[in-house]
Amino acid sequence: MGFNSIFENLAVRYAHKSIQKSLYNEFNIKILNNETYDKKPESNKSYMLYAHVPFCHTFCPYCSFHKYHYEQELAKIYFENLRTEMRQIKEAGFDFSSMYVGGGTTLINEAELEKTLILAKELFGITEISAESDPNHIAPESLKRFRGLIDRLSVGVQSFDDEILKKVGRYEKFGSSKEVQERLKNALGVFKTLSIDLIFNLPNQTKSQLLNDINIAKSIEAEQITFYPLMKSNLTREAIARTLGVSNVDNEREFYELICENFSDYHQNNAWAFSKNVSDLRDEYVGSNAEYVGVGSGAFSFLNGELVINAFNLLDYGRRVKSGKSAVIAKCGFSKKEQLKYKFLVKLFDGAVDIADYNAQNGANLRKDLAFELSMLKLVGAIKQSGGVVKPTRFGRYLCVTLMRDFYAGMDRVRAIFKDDAKIKSAKNLRIMSKDCDTKPQQNEPLYGAM
């Protein structure tokens, strides 16, 4: 192993420990028992709208996002509440030019999603919408209803290897690799951008399996292809081991380099997303939007240096929204230094940090406020600077991948706090609540699974 490799490995380990330390030290969640938090905009800031759809037909072992098993009536009530919260956000004075719909499976109830997107465009100055889906909801006849609404659709494929799909329960639900490929090809051209999402560094994944995923993804000719590193946390570790096994070999760096080499003819939107052409639609909304407003059960917002958390429990969320109360149940403040580090990371992950813009937007002096961090990144060859712009090097992009992976895994600490409480109320309770938001929960009702 060469000197540079040793230095880089040390840098990756340090970065991992650094972000873990930041997350553990800073994630001091304050539960708002008797305190009300109202989301309010600041006149000099722009925001993005994030809407969460917490429903899936099946749960994938590597997914830690907040979700419930899908039930049609439950979803209908939820979407109604979601639209009510959007109207409340409008009344609070917010406006948005972009919207990201995540989940869960966002297209799981097309009629309700369509109503929600139409309302979003009526309420706000939204010009672009990104949404997610699974391979079962991308039939052209279904997608056409969203023309003029959705600009970018991201399809979670995860792998084109049939054995991997069988292990994680996706083969039976979504079909074989060939069937998924055919659906993807048929979905091309419906929207401006179709993105294929894949995962790399799965336990026991071979180089040939990864290359097969790369080659198949490129052959489909979707506008964008995203390769996420496997993200393990306490919420997913056991399920991943149970379905995919355990491996003592970590191929993340090698596989990432392999991915970058094979996409050298693509434009790199950020550290892990590649597109055939230059695109303004970002794969990770946090990179282009330092502050965003989340609506829906379990949705996060980042406002004025605070992580703001909506109620996870569907019953609690619905009651709050229907009664005109804030959906926020908790918040977490961050120090100025941690805010600056986070905003620098997501901009670097996105490909570049314009120093003048960064300073103006954050009331900062980047060279002074993050002097140590910049020095360390330069020392290990992770960044380069030219014309007032900081950009990641090839190694720097990988470092951004590891930092963003650890950041998302760290957010599971927040979800874990509220996960058990979100299981308590049943779907039947929510339907009762839709008729009378003051109805008391019924006793001895079945639990409704949530993450």
CB atoms within 10 A of CB 122: 10
pLDDT number for residue 56: 87
More confident site: 260 or 69: 260
- Sorted by sequence, the CB contacts under 8 Å of residue 9 that are 6+ apart come out as 1
pLDDT number for residue 437: 40
What does the DSSP 8-state code read for residue 190? Answer: S
What is d(CA 101, CA 199) in angstroms, rounded to the nearest whole number? 20
What is d(CA 235, CA 37) in angstroms, rounded to the nearest whole number? 28
Q: Render pLDDT for 92-132 as a digit per residue (tens, 0 to 9).
A: 999 999 999 998 888 999 999 999 999 999 999 999 999 99
Q: What is the mean pLDDT of residues 412-435?
A: 56
What is d(CA 3, CA 113) in angstroms, rounded to the nearest whole number? 53
- CA 35 to chain CA centroid, Å, is 28
Given pLDDT bands bounded at 50, 70 and 90, which one contains residue 90? very high
pLDDT number for residue 92: 96
Q: What is the mean pLDDT of residues 273-293?
A: 72
pLDDT number for residue 286: 55
Give me the CATH code for the 30-333+410-451 domain, please. Answer: 3.80.30.20
- Overall pTM surpassing 0.85 (yes/no): yes
Q: Render pLDDT for 171-206 as a digit per residue (tens, 0 to 9).
A: 999 999 999 999 999 999 999 999 999 999 999 999
3-state helix, strand, coil in the chain (%, to 5): 45, 20, 35
CB atoms within 10 A of CB 12: 20
List b or e across 392-414, with b for residues whose CB sees 16 or more CB atoms inside 10 angstroms.
beebbbbbbbbbbbbbbbbbbeb
Task: Tell whether the model's pLDDT for residue 301 goes beyond 80.
Answer: yes
CA dihedral (5, 9, 14, 17) in degrees, to 10, reads: 170
Q: Render pLDDT for 216-267 as a digit per residue (tens, 0 to 9).
A: 999 999 999 999 999 887 777 788 888 888 888 889 999 999 999 999 999 9
More confident site: 182 or 284: 182
The two three-digit tokens of residue 61, written as one number = 């072992």
Beta bridge partners of 310: 328
Pairing status of strand 128-133 against strand 96-103: parallel
Give the DSSP H/E element, type plus range, for residue 329.
strand 328-333
Given pLDDT bands bounded at 50, 70 and 90, which one contains residue 285? low
Task: Tell whether the model's pLDDT for residue 72 goes beyond 60.
Answer: yes
pLDDT number for residue 43: 85
Task: Tell whether the model's pLDDT for residue 438 goes beyond 50.
Answer: no
Q: Is 201 helix (H, G, I), strand (E, B) or coil?
A: coil
Q: Render pLDDT for 403-416 as a digit per residue (tens, 0 to 9).
A: 888 888 777 777 77
More confident site: 407 or 352: 352
What is d(CA 72, CA 200) in angstroms, rounded to the nearest whole number? 33
For residues 97 and 119, the answer to whether their CB atoms sit within 8 Å is: no
More confident site: 16 or 33: 33
